[in-house]
């Protein structure tokens, strides 16, 4: 495995922005609902989106969540990991890593939040979605996401799991949503030989991918064109894990640096695979 020194340097660069975020998190989010409560909760502060300029911009998808989505700090599920910085803590840290270790020069001081049915989404090759099991999509959003993926867009889904509070229905909810978006396709289990795990860094085994708080091993699944693993990977799913949680808190020392490194390596691989396939 390579890039340890570069990661150590880059993680240190993220520390300044993460500290203020952590301080805000200590106080919680006012007006939050408990798990199982109302599905309508206020959005966290977000910065104005960066206008498209051809430079890579990290895009997080915004959606309307279903009942229970306000369980964490009173935030809507689309915003988990976004943090209290005004431009996305988890993704900002990942972009700084990418900028430090590669010739890719993404926007490192700004990220975008885009609604699924916003036509601007089609300008961006990669989109990121968290807690997809809570997503409740309108017909317009279903059609927009289907067109985005079929026209070459790449979707990364993270922070998903079976939730005992929902009767162990996390995967079923997400799979049902994806079935509506892509009715002829279905998720397929991935093994470590797939090229996405070797696009920039070499991931020799899933055993090196540690859990932040989830129990059991992480599961990696993908949706492919024509359900053929040899064809284009359209959707990358991290199930029973929260890789981006390592990105969000990497500068605070809650977890060993080596564990954060592996999470960053996955994120970097996903981006470089999406941009080269």
Residue 4 has pLDDT above 80, yes or no: no
Answer whether 252's CB lies under 8 Å from 90's CB.
Answer: no
Q: Which residues contact 176 (CB under 8 A, 6 or more apart)?
A: none
**Residue of higher predicted confidence among 68 and 250:** 250
C-alpha–C-alpha distance, residues 236 and 229, integer Å: 12
Q: Which of 16-30, 76-90, 178-192, 227-241 has the lowest mean pLDDT?
A: 16-30
Average pLDDT, stretch 75-93?
A: 78
**Residue of higher predicted confidence among 261 and 42:** 261
Answer whether 109's CB lies under 8 Å from 63's CB.
Answer: no
Answer whether 117's CB lies under 8 Å from 141's CB.
Answer: yes
Average pLDDT, stretch 264-269?
A: 97
Domain topology for 4-276: Rossmann fold (3.40.50)
Q: Which of 271, 253, 232, 233 is nearest to 102 (CA)?
A: 271
Answer whether 130's CB lies under 8 Å from 157's CB.
Answer: yes
What residues form DSSP beta bridges with 188?
222
pLDDT tens per residue, range 105-135: 999 988 999 999 999 999 999 999 999 988 8
Residue 1 has pLDDT above 70, yes or no: no
Average pLDDT, stretch 205-228?
A: 94
- The pTM of this model reads 0.86
pLDDT at 221: 97
In this prediction, residue 272 has a pLDDT band, given cuts at 50, 70 and 90, of very high
Is 225 exposed, middle or buried (CB count within 10 Å of its CB: 0-12, 13-18, 19+)? middle
Mean pLDDT of the chain: 84
pLDDT at 12: 43
pLDDT tens per residue, range 152-208: 999 999 988 886 555 456 888 899 999 999 999 999 999 999 999 999 999 999 999
């Amino acid at each position: 495995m390579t890039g340890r020194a570069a990661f150590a340097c880059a993680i240190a660069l993220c520390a300044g922005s993460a500290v203020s975020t952590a301080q805000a998190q200590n106080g919680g989010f006012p007006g939050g609902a408990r798990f199982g409560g109302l599905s309508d909760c206020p959005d966290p502060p977000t910065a104005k989106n960066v206008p498209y300029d051809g430079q890579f911009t990290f895009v997080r998808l915004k959606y309307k969540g279903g009942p229970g989505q306000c369980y964490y700090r009173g935030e809507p599920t689309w915003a988990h990991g976004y943090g209290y910085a005004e431009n996305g803590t988890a993704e900002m840290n990942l972009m700084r890593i990418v900028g430090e270790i590669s010739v890719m020069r993404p926007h490192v001081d700004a990220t975008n939040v885009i609604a699924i049915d916003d036509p601007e989404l089609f300008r961006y090759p990669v989109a990121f979605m968290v807690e997809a099991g809570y997503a409740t999509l309108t017909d317009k959003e279903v059609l927009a996401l289907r067109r985005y993926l079929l026209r070459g867009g790449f979707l990364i889904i993270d922070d998903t799991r079976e939730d005992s509070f929902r009767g162990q229905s996390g995967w079923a909810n997400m799979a049902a949503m994806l079935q509506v978006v892509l009715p002829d396709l279905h998720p397929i289990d991935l093994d470590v030989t797939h090229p996405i795990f070797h696009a920039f860094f070499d991931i020799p085994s899933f055993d090196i991918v540690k859990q932040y708080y989830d129990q059991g091993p992480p599961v990696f699944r993908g949706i492919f064109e024509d359900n053929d693993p040899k064809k284009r990977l359209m959707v990358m799913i991290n199930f029973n894990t929260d890789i981006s949680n390592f990105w969000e808190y990497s500068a605070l020392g809650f977890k060993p640096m080596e564990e954060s490194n592996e999470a960053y390596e996955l994120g970097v691989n996903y981006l470089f695979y999406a941009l080269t396939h």
